[in-house]
DNA sequence: GTGTCAATTGACACAGTGTCAAGTGACACG
DNA sequence: CGTGTCACTTGACACTGTGTCAATTGACAC
């Protein structure tokens, strides 16, 4: 682990992200990444034991660059549950486009690769934690709409925010990030916030 | 195209569906299908020019067995837009589980195979037509909620009903078909039906 | 000048798809 | 009875992409 070593590793990760972004996370081979890094395909295996491990490392690398904690701060500091919901969806709406390509690459080997499935699953459960916190905040305010239990509401919000929904609305339907955020926010408020509370805002 | 020929073709399609269902649409190889049919792998290529073509044929074969038109009749016969919305989601909620495995297999080669992508895309656009008809019916009744245009509402409903949402709620969260249908219906009504109309039902 | 270490080259195993050629076995038709 | 046809079989092989291995290079360090 000399500094040379770390440097090449970083260059690989940078090249991986760049290549994935250029291709929308589709059809990127080890040879492509090697070429983009400017090293031989085999050298990739000196740093990462498999394609999946490289993809996972690239995901973590990207996370580190993105200051997730800092971006989550506003929603965590929200004074009401409704505010927290709004800010969380706003965070998510800006976050997804930045992790989409790497995520897509990971998702598309999910079926054949246990490690990739587990890594993606982890991320999705972290997102679920955010959803749970939002729902808990609503519940604390007495603002969780009627038939919902906290766990069912968490699952429902979690589902609404799934990446394929974002993918479909933006890629297939051409919605902007702001349209996405606006609709998801409205939808979530209508679903999860008691009507008295919405009316009184 | 003798009757012998058709018979084997049918046996292949049956075996394909069975195999896909058993594996949830994941990791099914040509060899597996051949074995399940009781013929050699190469014989598959006498009937279908590629794996993708077989998957597509299996999708159509399944469609023919499922009487889609008959099942859609109730929603098409609905007297009001709200009724049509409800019945369409009910149709869809029962339909998805029956096409899920084949659909999954098709979706998972979508990224690498143009034909598979096109075939899946077609199905999704057929479903979109259903969504558009629902939204049009609401609009006709003057029941489409305020900020929505017909095309944006169609896209939104279309997205809500996407297969990955069903997959996530049932497979990951353990929801039943009825829970799925109930929630989707409520969600869609809250989103797309003007509040006066909901209140007056 | 010797050792170390990252990286290179080239060969190869493996899985899965798809192709090809030669052969088999049943059935039909003259 | 013999001949042709047709579905299917067997076995070999090309191709792509991942992952492994062994031998080699070239730089820097002591």
A77-88: pLDDT as tens digits: 999 999 999 999
Residues linked to residue A193 through DSSP beta bridges, in sequence order: A144
CA distances in angstroms from A13 to A23, A70, A107, B191, listed in the order given: 15, 23, 18, 42
Contact predicate A84/A78, CB 8 Å: yes
Give me the pLDDT at residue B201, please: 61
**CA-to-C1' span, B108 to C13 (A):** 27
Asked if pLDDT for residue A20 goes beyond 70, the answer is yes
In chain A, which residues touch B (CB < 8 A)? 26-27, 108, 111-112, 155-156, 158-159, 162, 164-165, 168-169, 173, 175, 183, 186-187, 190-191
Cα gap B48→B46, rounded to integer Å: 6
- Subset of residues 28-57 in chain B with CB less than 7 angstroms from any atom in strand D: 38-43, 46-47
Give me the pLDDT at residue A77, please: 97
Cα gap B19→B172, rounded to integer Å: 22
| Nucleic strand D within 7 A of Cβ A30 | yes
| Nucleic strand D within 7 A of Cβ B5 | yes
Q: Which two tokens stand for residue B174?
A: 């353990």
Contact predicate A159/A189, CB 8 Å: no
| Nucleic strand C within 7 A of Cβ A4 | yes
Contact predicate B57/B98, CB 8 Å: no
| Full pLDDT tens readout for chain B, 201 residues | 333 456 899 999 999 999 999 999 999 999 999 999 999 999 999 999 999 999 999 999 999 999 999 999 999 999 999 999 999 999 999 999 999 999 999 999 999 999 999 999 999 999 999 999 999 999 999 999 989 999 999 999 999 999 999 999 999 999 999 999 999 999 999 999 998 877 776
Give me the pLDDT at residue B1, please: 36
**Candidate from A156, A165, A190 with C-beta closest to B190:** A190
Asked if pLDDT for residue A2 goes beyond 70, the answer is no
Sign of CA dihedral A9, A13, A14, A19: positive
With vertex at residue A95, the alpha carbon angle to CA A168 and CA A154, rounded to the nearest 5 degrees, is 75
Residue A53 CB contacts under 8 Å (≥ 6 apart), including other chains: A115
Name the closest residue on chain B to residue A128, using Cα atoms.
B173
Which of B104, B124, B163, B173 should one mutate to test binding to chain A, selecting the residue with the greatest count of A CBs within 10 A?
A: B173
Give me the pLDDT at residue B198, please: 73
Average pLDDT over every residue of A143-153: 96
Mean pLDDT, chain B, as a whole number? 94
Query: All domains of chain A, ordered by start, with CATH?
Result: 3-48 (1.10.10.60), 66-200 (1.10.357.10)
Contact predicate A131/A157, CB 8 Å: yes
pLDDT tens-digit map of B9-38: 999 999 999 999 999 999 999 999 999 999
CB-side neighbour CA atoms (13 Å) of A127: 22
Give me the pLDDT at residue A201, please: 61
Cα-Cα-Cα-Cα torsion B155, B176, B93, B25, nearest 10 degrees, comes to 90
**CA-to-C1' span, B18 to C25 (A):** 30
Q: pLDDT grade, residue A200 (50/70/90)?
A: confident
pLDDT tens-digit map of A111-139: 999 999 999 999 999 999 999 999 999 99
| Nucleic strand D within 7 A of Cβ A49 | yes
**CA-to-C1' span, B39 to D10 (A):** 12
Average pLDDT over every residue of A11-19: 97
């Amino acid at each position: 682990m000399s500094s040379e070593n770390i440097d090449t590793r970083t260059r690989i990760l940078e090249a991986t992200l760049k290549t994935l972004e250029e291709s929308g996370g589709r059809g990127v081979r080890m040879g492509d990444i090697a070429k983009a890094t400017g090293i031989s395909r085999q050298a990739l295996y000196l740093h990462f034991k498999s394609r999946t491990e490289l993809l996972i490392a690239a995901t973590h690398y990207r996370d580190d660059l993105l200051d997730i904690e800092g971006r989550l701060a506003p929603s965590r500091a929200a004074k009401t549950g409704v505010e927290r919901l709004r800010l969380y969806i706003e965070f998510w709406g800006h976050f997804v486009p930045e992790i989409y390509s790497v995520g897509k690459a990971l998702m598309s080997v999910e079926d054949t690769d246990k490690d990739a499935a587990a890594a993606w699953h982890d991320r999705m459960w972290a997102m679920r934690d955010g959803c749970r916190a939002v729902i808990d905040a609503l519940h604390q305010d007495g603002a969780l709409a009627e038939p919902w239990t906290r766990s069912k509401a968490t699952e429902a919000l979690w589902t609404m925010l799934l990446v394929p929904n974002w993918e479909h609305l933006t890629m297939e339907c051409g919605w902007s990030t702001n349209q996405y955020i606006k609709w998801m926010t409205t939808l979530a408020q209508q679903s999860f916030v008691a009507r008295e509370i919405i009316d009184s805002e």
